[in-house]
Structure 1
Amino acid sequence: MKRTLLLLMVLPGCALFRPGPRPVQAPPEEAARVVFPRDLPAQGLHELSGTLAAAIALAMEDFRPLGAKPHRGATPLEQCLYRREAFNVSTAPGPGGIMFVRFSFSPSNCAEHEREIVLDMGATYAVDVPGARILAVQR
């Protein structure tokens, strides 16, 4: 009886450890229409190291978490600022194996009716990739 009661008290806490939202996947009918190339085209190809990709992913998840939605009544500009693609990304290695990841707002990545000049809407992250953690953020 005591074990059952203890288990019932602990189970709701497990909900706190659920993984974050997963990306939306297209329905199977739409996915079936995608034709993958044998090799990726050389023109426009961007190849990132695993370390760089991991640093960007960690920083982006903190900067603009997957599934984040604008507040009710958000202006068109605010709606754009919630989208990950509204920001350009720059990276550089730092001392001791850390990676710096900078997000810079780019109005050209928003629809014309959402564009405004916004200063200092980005952030720079210091990321410890092997430790899978953010060391510091400069906003």
Structure 2
Amino acid sequence: MRVRPGWAATFGVFLLPACALFQRPPRPVHASQAEAAKVEIPLAFPEEGRQIIPGTTLRAIQLAMEDYLPWDYKLPGTATPLQQCLARREAYDVVAAPGPHGVVFVSIVPNPEVCDVGGPPLLDIGATYAIDVTGWRILSVQQ
């Protein structure tokens, strides 16, 4: 098949702006070699505080969190201190549990100790997800 130059040029004009809309998530920041040299990773993790998270549960949590608080979420310029705090993923706790037939339930709730800005308790914030771990889809969200 032969493509006319005019068509290719027009197609390219539409392709470039569309590609600009698809951004990849930012890569994690690594410490300098000098700072990394100060940290010794143990051969075996201590029993106390250790958590083993199955891969399917981890991926279900990632899927729910990406829906609840996307990595590219932008705060408005008029954001309150509470809104600024709640825009950070580390301000949330996650509870995950297996459900029936390839479903994992994921609940994302704010940690009141992290976002304690002196206001009323955070009762109506958070969400619970039903995640299909065979097709990696969000089945349902309850907010």
Q: What is the TM-score of this pair, normalised by structure 1? A: 0.83
The answer to whether 1:45 aligns with 2:45 is: no
For residue 114 of structure 2, the aligned residue among 89, 100, 109 is 109
Rounded Cα–Cα distance in structure 2 between residues aligned with 1:17 and 1:67? 11
Greater shift, 121-130 or 65-74, is seen at 65-74
Aligned match of 1:71: 76
Cα pair distance change 1:42/1:115, threshold 3 Å: farther
Give the aligned partner of residue 19 of structure 1.
Answer: 24
CA contact (8 A) 1:127 1:135 kept: yes
Please report the RMSD computed on the Cα atoms of aligned residues, expressed in angstroms: 2.0
User: How many residues are matched?
Assistant: 137
Alpha-carbon deviations, 1:5-51, whole Å to 9, x = none?
A: 42343232222333223333333433333221111111110001001
Q: Which runs of 5+ in 2 are unaligned?
A: none
| Unaligned residue ranges in structure 1 (runs of 5+) | none
**Corresponding residue SS for 1:99:** strand
Aligned counterpart, 1:134: 138
- Counterpart CA distance in 1 for 2:28 and 2:51 is 22
Deviates more, 1:76-85 or 1:66-75: 66-75
2:95 is aligned to: 90
Alignment pair present for 1:58 and 2:63:
yes
2:42 equivalent to 1:30: no
**Cα offset, 1:69, TM superposition:** 4.2
Aligned residue type for 1:123: A
How many Å separate the matches in 1 of 2:29 and 2:94?
23
Secondary structure, in 3 states, of the residue corresponding to 1:96?
A: coil
Q: Cα distance, 1:115 vs. partner?
A: 4.3
Q: For residues 90 and 58 of structure 1, what CA distance do their matches in structure 2 show?
A: 14
Secondary structure (helix, strand or coil) at the match of 1:6 reads: helix
Looking at structure 2, the residues matched to 75 and 5 of structure 1 have their Cα atoms a distance apart, in angstroms, of 45
CA pair 70-6 structure 1, distance change in 2 beyond 3 A: closer
Is the 1:107–1:115 Cα contact (8 Å) retained in structure 2? no
Secondary structure of the structure 2 residue equivalent to 1:20:
coil
